[in-house]
Amino acid sequence: MLPLVPALVAILATVALALGAALARALTPAAAVVAAAFGAIIVVFVGFAFLALLILFVVASVLATRYRFEVKEQRHVQEGQHGERGIANVMAHILVPTALALAAGLSPPLLPLRATTVLFASALAFGASDTFGSEFGVLAGTARSILTGRPVPAGTNGGVSANGEFWAAVGAVTTGVVGYGLYLLFGTPTPAGVVVVGVSALAGFLACQVDSVLGETLENRGWLTKHSTNFLGMVSAVLIAAGLLKGLGAWG
């Protein structure tokens, strides 16, 4: 955990960033409050590198959401009224990272910090993969069912396209690379760079496919909501990453 003075500075910075996001209409006011509270927990328990990666994920998601927003609005597949993220969206994407931060930051820790760096990056790699795949993929105009391959309208739950899959991979890989760079910058101990980037990118991308399968099989039947599907997708990213770390002998 951070010492008292750096922790206070970190909390103030987190609140200021959340306020800025609300003023920029990137988050609704309620979502900004939630983001500030959970962001403060993350930075206090595991440090600035984790918060910085979370902030960059939010910024990238907002930019992707607002890209050609007028086209998405015409097709009725836009996020919010102006591309803003609501409280349910924020909760779906911040609960898992916060739980990881708490598990690693407790004394004694429930998770080793080195493994947590990869699990945390994997969770956000899924978020970026899912957001990029959806926000850029929906512009392709056509998609196919991930299970049957039949054509479906772009934006359909479980629908995938070559354009969407490409950007999903870009989101996952970029998150892994940026995450490792931030860990190095802030002196956070991690496994080897190829492990951090490779595991988080692969876990994030594969979890994005899990999200699509859940969307087609459960969300389309009304058994899951969009946000609960996202939450389960992020959980699957962490589980995949944990399995890969264990298999590579890079857990500790």
pLDDT, tens only, 13-40: 889 988 988 888 888 899 999 999 999 9
Q: How confident is the model at residue 67 (pLDDT cuts 50, 70, 90)?
A: confident
Q: Is 82 helix (H, G, I), strand (E, B) or coil?
A: coil
Q: Which residue's structure tokens are 């009224």?
A: 81
Q: How far apart are CA 61 and CA 43, in angstroms?
A: 20
pLDDT digits (tens, 9 = 90+) for 190-240: 999 999 999 999 999 999 999 999 999 999 999 999 999 999 999 999 999
Q: Is 182's pLDDT higher than 90?
A: yes
User: Over 90: is that where the pLDDT of 81 sits?
Assistant: no
Compute the distance between CA of residue 171 and CA of residue 90 in angstroms, rounded to an integer. 18
pTM for the predicted model, two decimal places:
0.93
**81 and 25 Cβ atoms separated by less than 8 Å:** no
Give the residue ranges of DSSP H helices in the chain. Answer: 4-23, 29-46, 48-66, 69-74, 87-105, 113-137, 162-185, 193-214, 226-248
- Would you list the domain boundaries of the chain? 4-248
pLDDT, mean of residues 60-65: 86
Measured between alpha carbons, how far is 41 from 47 in angstroms, rounded to an integer? 9
CB atoms inside a 10 Å sphere around CB 213: 17
What percent of the chain lies above the pLDDT cut of 90? 65
Is residue 116 a contact partner of residue 103, using CB atoms and an 8 Å limit? Answer: yes
Tokens of 111: 């998770």
- Cβ–Cβ < 8 Å for 199, 193: no
Mean pLDDT, residues 235-252 = 95
